[in-house]
Structure 1
Amino acid sequence: MSDYVNDYFNHVQQIALQVKKSQIDNINDAAHVFTEAIKNKCCIYAFGASHAGIITEELFYRTGGLAVINPILSSSLMLNTRPVTMTSQLERLAGFGKIIFSSIPAEKGDVLLIHSVSGRNPVSIDIALSAKEKGLTVIVLTNLSYSKKVNSRHTSNKKLYEVADIVIDNCGDFEDSSIKLSGLEQKIGPTSTAIGSLIVNSIVIKTADNLLKLGISPPIFHSANVDGGDAFNELLLNNYKDNIHYMM
């Protein structure tokens, strides 16, 4: 009898090891860019549409996370949108990403991390292109093998990885889901959220380590559910208020 759950655990572990083996230099490069941005008092932004946006939420306002990660959370692209199918329509809408990007106070020298598994939809590509035009460093987290097998929906015919400064491959399966069950045509068990979280938290860890080596105290949140956590976090938010835009 097949043990599909065990297969899934093993598969995610194998992908994690593949990421560690093949992507560590790109992760370190991303952490260097984060480090320089924090050192130079520049801003860091993160974006993803629909389920890809879960990685932005993972980076944003949480214990053990960098206080200076500014999420780009367009409500029409989040999973509480009704009907939820609207998120799929809007991430394919030409020019929508430019409108979203125009609403954030990004400046030259800032950093943008974008997560998109397929990297084919216009919203992420337009945001990346707009960011590059303004002088931001663009870091892309994607699935390269998946992206290379599908056509771009952008007018430029480019995929997201083709407009990035740094590309990190999540090393996942085509279509993201990974386990084939007997009697079920479609695969089950996506991996991009688990692996994406592992990758972005690795960037945060390396960034904090870099800052410490520079003699800079990393702006890392404490849990708000421990004694003294609220006071510590309030001081952190105040110290970095010029680089934090999610409190307004």
Structure 2
Amino acid sequence: MSYIKQYYQSIEHILTRILQEQESILEQAATLMDEAVENGRSLYIFGASHAGIVAEDAFYRAGGLALFNPLFSPALMLNVEPITLTSKMERLEGYGQIILDSKPVQQGDVVFIHSVSGRNPVAIDLAIEAKARGMIVISLTNLTYSRSVPSRHSSGKRLFEVSDLVIDNYGEPGDAAVSIQSLTQKVAPTSTISGSFIIHSIVLKFIEKLEAKGKDVPVFRSANMDGGDDYNEQMIKNYKNQIHYM
């Protein structure tokens, strides 16, 4: 079988498992979002380095939820040089708390934390501090991977052990899925695709709840379609108390 077909089958298998085995968990996540928004609270999303791609995919994009507030840090983004700085910073204990301090978080807010291994201090710090402030922590991780490695945090905990709700991306340890004949290292990661599928699926379930109550659906339009800029500007004004990235 060709490498690309192996990759396709791996992705298909993972997405099928997520839908068949975790739909109830996605429903729980959507319910927590719905309750938070109903009570005037805010939604946040975080990921470091490549895990941050899922946060970027959820944030300020056409067809995406307007209420996701990203917890970004320049030192953890993929445009930093040298790129190895991201690995050092996500292992720096205490940095997660500093990132959380950058937003007006409050009790009852919901934060999604994406970390595939779930072992690095930045995500664990952020989760521990968020819970201490009364926030609800939903983690997106790889349970098989995370359980196979020790925590790098002084608490000895991994992300799934300090979260209120855990969603498994069903990937492999090391993330990549395709065995290559000439390499011992597998190729073609799965977590970005599965992570985005999970986040957007939760958003769709959240939208179902809004529609059932006859409420507005705060989703952005493409700025490249006529009227998109005006529509999005009004959307931001309507939810200015729950949007903290402008």
Amino acid at match of 2:204: I
Q: Mapping of 1:118-157 within 5 angstroms?
A: 118-157=117-156
Asked if 1:158 is matched to 2:157, the reply is yes
Residue 5 of structure 1 corresponds to 4
Give the alignment's TM-score, normalised by structure 1. 0.98
- Look up the match of 1:77: 76
Q: Distance in 1 between matches of 2:105 and 2:207?
A: 23
Q: Distance in 2 between matches of 1:37 and 1:61?
A: 19
How far apart, in 2, do the equivalents of 1:22 and 1:169 lie? Answer: 10
For residue 137 of structure 2, give the secondary structure of its aligned residue in structure 1.
strand
What corresponds to 1:216 in structure 2?
215
**Structure 1 counterpart of 2:107:** 108
- Is 1:99 the equivalent of 2:93? no
Partner SS for 2:140: strand
> Counterpart amino acid of 2:22?
Q
* 1:67 partner SS: coil
Maintained 8 Å contact 2:95/2:122: yes
Cα deviation 1:79-124 (Å, max 9, x = unaligned): 0111000000010011111111112110001110000000000000
Matched, 1:18 2:4: no
Distance 1:241 1:154 in 2: 36
Residue type at the aligned position of 2:199: V
Aligned to 1:50: 49
Q: Structure 1 residue runs of 4+, over 4 Å off?
A: none
Q: Percent identity?
A: 50
In structure 1, how many angstroms separate the alpha carbons of the residues matched to 2:205 and 2:128?
Answer: 27
| Distance in 2 between residues matched to 1:48 and 1:166, nearest whole Å | 16
Please, what TM-score do these two structures have when normalized by structure 2?
0.98
Is the Cα contact below 8 Å between 2:72 and 2:99 reproduced in 1? no
How many Å apart are 1:64 and its aligned residue?
Answer: 1.1
Q: Distance in 1 between matches of 2:96 and 2:105?
A: 14
2:9 partner amino acid: N
Deviation at 1:226, TM superposition (A): 1.0
Counterpart secondary structure, 2:209: helix
Give the drift of 1:10: 1.0
Could you tell me how far 1:229 is from its partner in structure 2?
1.1
- Distance (whole Å) between structure 2 residues aligned to residue 20 and residue 182 of structure 1: 31
Q: 1: distance between equivalents of 2:218 and 2:99?
A: 27
- Mapped partners of 1:139, 1:214: distance in 2: 24
CA distance in 2, matches of 1:235, 1:95: 37
Report the CA distance between 1:183 and its aligned residue: 1.3
CA displacement at 1:181 relative to structure 2: 0.9
Unaligned segments of structure 1, at least 5 residues:
none
Q: Does the Cα contact within 8 Å between 2:77 and 2:86 map onto a contact in 1?
A: yes
Which residue does 1:246 correspond to in 2?
245
> 5+ unaligned residues in a row in structure 2: which ranges?
none
User: How many Å apart are 1:23 and its aligned residue?
Assistant: 1.1
**2:226 partner letter:** D
SS in 1 for 2:167: strand
How many angstroms apart in 2 are the aligned matches of 1:113 and 1:174?
Answer: 21
Aligned-residue Cα RMSD (Å) equals 0.7
Counterpart CA distance in 1 for 2:93 and 2:162 is: 16
Q: Distance in 1 between matches of 2:138 and 2:225?
A: 33
Report the counterpart of residue 117 of structure 1 in structure 2: 116
